[in-house]
Amino acid sequence: MKKLLLALIATIVLFSSCEENGEENPETFGTFQLEFDNVVGSQNMSLSDPGSGDYMYTTDSGEPFNLTLFGYYISKIKLEGPNGELYEDEVNVSANADEVKGYYHVLESNASSRFITLDDVPAGSYNKVTFTVGVEEDGVQEGAAGGVLDPAEGAWFWNWNAGYIGFAMEGGAQNSGQEEVVGDGWTIHEHSFSFHVGGWKDVEPAEGEDQKFVNNVKTVTLDFDSNVSVAENLSPNAHIIVDALKILDGVGVDFSTTYSVHAPKLGQPFAEFIPDTFILDHIHQ
């Protein structure tokens, strides 16, 4: 019986692959671009110098602040369409930087990093994009990696609790309780804040036990308001707004007590609002 079933499956697989190969029109491809536009509420984001006492933004609760660093990892991008169209960006971890695929480190300080261009997207209609903010277990557990995952070249990596920081913002706030700390070649400025959101371990708690570890890697799905077409001569662009205020107001951050977040559990309240932070503004067909 099992053998029969196997033979049947094999026939179906063979048959369907033959059919694809035999198609009259070979599959064509186009590109699709994601543009990440970082903002603070209704204002454009612009970064200040560390230590600056010039606070250009205000939280919902009236706390003045500025930003000196803002960014995140985007990975595992997927496009889906109304007729079952599916494109999954290739993901690969390697020591060889050229072979690292599908991980993007988007930094406000690096304009080109805000544009992710997906090549080889099969021609078709798409109405939804899904991506991961952060680096999941399978990205960490392959071991040392190059390119945007190389800690010696600016990758955001926690040594002590090995894994990547998925989302981070740093800046200054008038009410921040941070005191000045001067180390050997580094300074933590007075009134600064630093929110690093990391942690990828997904451990089911044993029965009767509290949750241990925190997985702060989040998946974001954005629906398009209409179908967009990808074709050889059609390269749509999704303009995605990333609003820092959604996190700060979502958490209801009080800088006087919350100014240093460097562990998964402390980052958890911030991570909860990551999906709300990414908003599809519009699509250019």
Partner 1 sequence: MTTKKQYAHLHILWMCIFFNFSCSVDKEASPDQAYVFVKPDNFPEPTYTFQNNPVTKDGFELGKKLFFDPTLSRDGSVSCNNCHIQGTAFADSQQHPLSVGVNDQRGIRNAPSLVNLAFMEEFFWDGGVTHLDFVPINAIESDFEMDETLANVVKKLNADPVYLELFNSAFGIDKITSPYLLHALSQFTVMMVSSNSKYDKHMRGEGETLTSEELEGMEIFSSKCGSCHSGELFSDFSFRNNGINDVFSDIGRAGISEFDGDVGKFRVPSLRNVALTSPYMHNAKFNTLEEVLDHYENGVIDSPSLDEELKNGSQLGIPLSEQEKEKVIAFLKTLTDREFISDTRFMNR
Interface positions with partner 1 (CB under 8 A)? 93-95, 97, 140-146, 150-153, 157, 159-163, 201, 209-214, 263-265
Contact 10, 3 (CB under 8 A): no
Position 194, amino acid: S
How far apart (Å, rounded) are the C-alpha atoms in residues 134 and 22?
41
Q: What SS3 class is residue 193?
A: strand
How far apart (Å, rounded) are the C-alpha atoms in residues 245 and 88?
30
The four Cα atoms 26, 27, 28, 29 give a dihedral, to 10 degrees, of -150
Q: How far is the CB of 144 from partner 1 (least distance, A)?
A: 4
The candidate with the shortest Cα–Cα distance to 176, out of 258, 248, 249, is 258
Q: How far is the CB of 205 from partner 1 (least distance, A)?
A: 9
Smaller CB distance to partner 1: residue 62 or 183? 183
Smaller CB distance to partner 1: residue 163 or 171? 163
Cα 15 to Cα 2, 83, 122, 266: the distances in Å are: 20, 22, 22, 54
How far apart (Å, rounded) are the C-alpha atoms in residues 39 and 245?
8
Smaller CB distance to partner 1: residue 17 or 110? 110
Smaller CB distance to partner 1: residue 115 or 213? 213
Q: How far is the CB of 274 from partner 1 (least distance, A)?
A: 19
Q: How far is the CB of 43 from partner 1 (least distance, A)?
A: 34
Smaller CB distance to partner 1: residue 123 or 263? 263
Q: How far is the CB of 94 from partner 1 (least distance, A)?
A: 7
